[in-house]
Chain A
Amino acid sequence: MPRTYVKAVHVGYKRSKVVHYPHTSLLKLEGCNTRKATNFYVGKRVAYVYKGEKKDLKGSTTRYIWGKITRPHGNSGLVRAKFKRNLPPRSFGAPVRVMLFPSNI
């Protein structure tokens, strides 16, 4: 399978000094180091891919949590993303796939 997604890392949740906001996750995209560069990715779909124990109907143990990139976060190329279900804390540092769709090129 060709890779048609950009690699990203789940850095953590949106937060203030003390409080975490798990409904929004922060992602660091590969090769994306400025706020301007994040423009391309806003609105794109994101998938956190992990393995579960039980097989699904297709016989696969791979599971997905889908989300969307909502906006840039700060000036160094981080983005905020919202997921259908909040990402679990054990996904901190884990790879996340940033799809190239919905495309506007």
Chain B
Amino acid sequence: MAKNVLVKGVPRHSKSSQYRRKGLQYIKNKTTTPKKSIVNKNGGKWYSTVDISGRKLAKKGRGTAVLRKSITKGTVLILLAGRHVGKRVIFLKQLPSGLLLVTGPYHINGVPLRRVDQAYVIATSTKVDLKGVSLPDDFSEELVCRPKAKTVGGKSEKAFFATKKKGRHAFPKPTDARIAASKAVDAQVLERVNKVPYLKEYLARGFSLDNGDYPHLMQF
């Protein structure tokens, strides 16, 4: 029989293909009343002799991702993908969605207040003391999200058939509130970064592999 898991953490079938394979699209909306547990009706003194069948109650969505132990407030992280690949940033906190809130600070390496997934980050052993650094009171995760394109009532026919323009995508400009939040946080972080000798230079310098650099031998 084929293994369902290629190796730990690498499933053979993706989540969506498993969905199809199991035919979950057909039973998604079926309402079933789960049978009540009769195991402990007698105060847990003995197990029931009756087998209990019935579907398990579905878990309520997924929880937020567990933060790796190596990542704590003030940890310097190396970004591994995206626009700011290779830059060193400072970790502030984990957001409700599970993503990490980081800042460059912007003044040092051009990374504003933004979110990253911990899978795309290397945690270094360098930590900045961020005691007393607080986010603005009106801070919410939506502030650092990319604004969604407005598609109320679907695209117009003309827009749908319009050929996409070649060249780089134009990124939406950050909102004023986001810039203000970024500045407010960066001012506090910068103050603490400046206290540590060479930390500013370290953050300004990117991470890059060179010939003869092997990450499996590195101590980050």
Contacts and interface: CB of A to CB of B under 8 A. Distances in A.
Interface of A: 1-6, 30-32, 37, 39-43, 55, 57-59, 68, 70-71, 82, 99-105
Interface string B64-102: 000010100000001011000110000000000000000
A73 to B, nearest CB: 12
Contacts of A2: 85-86, 206-209
A30 B120 contact: no
Contacts of B78: 4
A3 B209 contact: yes
Pick the 10 closest A-B CB pairs, nearest first: A2-B86, A2-B208, A40-B216, A31-B214, A102-B119, A59-B166, A70-B6, A101-B80, A3-B209, A71-B7
Contacts of A4: 78, 80-81, 85-86, 207-209
Contacts of B6: 70-71, 82
Nearest to B71: A105
B10 A100 contact: no
Given A37-B216, A99-B80, A101-B119, A5 B7 contact: no
Contact of A101 (B81, B166, B212): B81
A105 B123 CA distance: 6
A2 B121 CA distance: 15
A49 B123 CA distance: 27
Question: What is the interface of chain A mostly: helix, strand, loop, or mixed?
Answer: loop
B30 interface: no
B86 A42 contact: no
Contacts of A40: 215-216
A57 B68 contact: no
10 contacts: A4-B208, A31-B214, A31-B216, A37-B217, A43-B7, A43-B9, A68-B10, A82-B6, A99-B81, A105-B122
Contacts of A30: 214
B220 interface: yes
B21 interface: no
B208 to A, nearest CB: 3
Contacts of B85: 1-2, 4
A40 B216 CA distance: 6
B164 interface: yes
A32 B122 contact: no
A70 B10 contact: yes
Given A31-B216, A41-B216, 16 more contacts: A1-B86, A2-B206, A2-B208, A3-B209, A4-B86, A32-B214, A37-B217, A39-B216, A57-B164, A58-B167, A99-B81, A100-B80, A102-B119, A104-B68, A105-B122, A105-B123
